[in-house]
């Protein structure tokens, strides 16, 4: 079956523009996670959903970052007024039932470059 998909795969934008990154989780997966991965680093948690409810957004760096999952499936991570320091790989992951220690399946990521 299809894995986690993300779009776009690459996004180049100018400082100050808003960007929207999309994640399509594995069908039927309850939980969806967003991570940010800088070059040479491991992924860092941003936010997490169970169905459409945002359970934890403690990793969002500031109020320019927001995420939604309105129908409990596809999710969008939005960055407003982008800054150069926002440049990174943004990864989405999903898991089946939202249980502790459950396998998280990662997507290929969206590489964001802010000029």
Partner 1 sequence: QKEVEQDPGPLSVPEGAIVSLNCTYSNSAFQYFMWYRQYSRKGPELLMYTYSSGNKEDGRFTAQVDKSSKYISLFIRDSQPSDSATYLCAMTSGGSNYKLTFGKGTLLTVNP
Q: How many CB atoms lie within 10 A of CB 2?
A: 8
Question: Is residue 17 involved in binding partner 1 (CB under 8 A)?
Answer: no
- Strands 110-114 vs 88-95: parallel, antiparallel or unpaired: antiparallel
Instruction: Supply the DSSP symbol for 86.
Output: G
Which residues are bridge partners to 23 per DSSP? 6, 75
Question: Is residue 25 involved in binding partner 1 (CB under 8 A)?
Answer: no
One of 1, 2, 14, 40 touching partner 1 (CB under 8 A): 40
One of 22, 54, 87, 108 touching partner 1 (CB under 8 A): 108
Q: In the complex, which residues of this chain contact partner 1 (CB under 8 A)? A: 4, 31, 33, 35, 40-45, 48, 55-56, 59, 91, 93, 95, 98, 100-109
């Amino acid at each position: 079956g299809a894995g986690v998909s993300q779009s776009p795969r690459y996004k180049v934008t100018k400082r100050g523009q808003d960007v929207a990154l999309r994640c399509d989780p594995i069908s039927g997966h309850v939980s969806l996670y967003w991570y940010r991965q800088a070059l040479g680093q491991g992924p860092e948690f941003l936010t997490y959903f169970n169905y459409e409810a945002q359970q934890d957004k403690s990793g969002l760096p500031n109020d320019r970052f927001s995420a939604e999952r309105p129908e409990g499936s596809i999710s969008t991570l939005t960055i407003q007024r982008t800054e150069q320091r926002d440049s990174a790989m943004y990864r989405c992951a999903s898991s089946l039932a939202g249980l502790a220690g459950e396998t998280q399946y990662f997507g290929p990521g969206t590489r964001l470059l802010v000029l």
